[in-house]
Amino acid sequence: MFLDVLDLRNFYAQSLGRITAHYIYQRIRQHWPNVNGLSILGVGYALPYIRSMRTGAERTLVFMPARQGAVYWPSDGASLTSLVDPDRLPLPDSCMDRIILVHMLELVDSPADHLREIWRVLTPGGRLLIVVPNRRGVWARMEHTPFAYGRPFSKGQLTHLLRDTMFTPVRWSEALHFGPFKGKSWFGPARWWEKIGARLWPAFSGVLIVEATKLLRQGLPSKEANLMQSSFRPVFLPVPNLPNSAAKMPMRNPFFDWQGDDHWIDED
C-alpha cells in the first residue's frame, strides 16, 4: 500500500517533517559527502533528500510509483520526476552511480523484485542507500508520520534481503532518536535528544539507513574441465536436413501495458 503523494508532501511541509528531513539528510551526507559528477536516482519520495545534490551531480532523476503519484520538480525548469512501475524502471542497464530509496522499500509488494531492478540499473561499484522504518522504533507505531506505513525492518531482515538480491551492506547508520511529537516545544531540544539517543539507545531509532554496493559474481574455470577438454579432438558431423515447415516458437510481445490511476500535481 503506497501513501498518496499529497500526504507525503504535506508531512514534509510541517515543522515535524522539516526536522525529520534535516536529521535524515545529515546521515545521508555522512554516507555520501561528495556526489560531484555522479548520476543520482531517487526512488519513492526522495525530494527532501535529493534537492541539494542536484547542483554538483552530473544528472539527477526522481522516480515515483504510479500508485503514489508524483510532484513536478523542479518548479523552475523541465521536470526531473517521472511515474514508474517499481519493478520495471525505464532505464538501461548499469547507468546510475548512486540510488537512494526513501518511502519505497517498505511499501512495495515485493521488496526482492524491486531490489533486483535497482541492481540492474546501478553501475558496477555503484552505491545504494536505503532509508526504512526501524521495527524497534517508536516512529513505526505513530500513524501521523509516513514511517508508520508498510513493513518496518530490522537490521537482520534488511541484511538477508540485500544479500539475496546480490548487494553487500558496507555501512549502517540510524536517525530520528527523538519522539515523533507534534508539539513545537519538543522541536528545540530535538538536537540534544538526537545526540543522546545515538549514544544510549541506537537500536530504537526511528529509521535505519544502510549503504550497500552492487555485488558481481564471476564464475571461475575448473582445471579438471580444462584437462578433460584438452584430451578430446573435435569431430565435425554433417548437418541434418530439417523440413522447411518446422514449427517456430512464438515470440513474446515485449509491449508493457500499464493500467493504473496515474496522477500528477505541481510542486510549489
Q: How confident is the model at residue 56 (pLDDT cuts 50, 70, 90)?
A: confident
Q: How confident is the model at residue 193 (pLDDT cuts 50, 70, 90)?
A: confident
Cell of 112: 526482492
Query: How many Cβ atoms sit within 10 Å of the Cβ of residue 143?
Result: 10
Q: Are strands 59-65 and 81-84 parallel, antiparallel or unpaired?
A: parallel
Choice among 6-10, 165-169, 245-249 with the minimum mean pLDDT: 245-249
If phi > 0 it is left, if psi is from -120 to 50 it is alpha, else beta; for residue 103 that is: left
Q: What is the pLDDT of residue 254?
A: 38
Percentage of the residues of the chain whose pLDDT score is greater than 70: 78
Q: What is the mean pLDDT of residues 101-119?
A: 96
Q: What is the mean pLDDT of residues 83-91?
A: 94
Indicate if the pLDDT at residue 261 is higher than 70: no
Q: Any idea where the domains of the chain sit in the sequence?
A: 5-216
Q: What is the pLDDT of residues 208-234, one digit of tens each?
A: 999 999 987 644 444 444 444 444 344
Q: What is the pLDDT of residue 262?
A: 46
Indicate if the pLDDT at residue 35 is higher than 80: yes
- State the residue for C-alpha cell 496522477: 263
* Calpha distance 153→21 (Å, rounded): 20
Torsion of CA 24, 67, 160, 165, to 10 degrees: -110
Q: How confident is the model at residue 179 (pLDDT cuts 50, 70, 90)?
A: confident
Indicate if the pLDDT at residue 235 is higher than 90: no
Single-letter amino acid, residue 151: R
Q: What is the pLDDT of residue 267?
A: 55
Cell of 71: 510532484
Average pLDDT, the chain: 83
Indicate if the pLDDT at residue 256 is higher than 80: no
Q: Are strands 96-102 and 39-44 parallel, antiparallel or unpaired?
A: parallel
pTM for the full predicted model: 0.79
Task: Select from 240, 249, 260, 202 the least CA-distant residue to 69.
Answer: 260
Q: What is the mean pLDDT of residues 51-57?
A: 90
How would you class 210 by CB atoms within 10 Å of its CB: exposed for 0-12, middle for 13-18, buried for 19 or more? buried
Q: What is the pLDDT of residue 222?
A: 45
Q: What is the pLDDT of residue 60?
A: 96
Task: Select from 51, 161, 163 the least CA-distant residue to 105.
Answer: 161
Choice among 55-59, 160-164, 230-234 with the minimum mean pLDDT: 230-234
What DSSP line would sit under 178-208, residue for residue? S-----GGGTTTHHHHHHHHHHH-GGG-SEE
Single-letter amino acid, residue 146: P
Q: What is the mean pLDDT of residues 52-59?
A: 91
Indicate if the pLDDT at residue 108 is higher than 60: yes
Q: How confident is the model at residue 187 (pLDDT cuts 50, 70, 90)?
A: low
Indicate if the pLDDT at residue 249 is higher than 60: no
Q: What residues contact residue 147 under an 8 Å CB cut-off, 6+ apart?
A: 133, 139, 140, 176, 180, 206, 207
* Calpha distance 223→225 (Å, rounded): 5
CATH 3.30.450.20 is right for the domain spanning 5-216: no
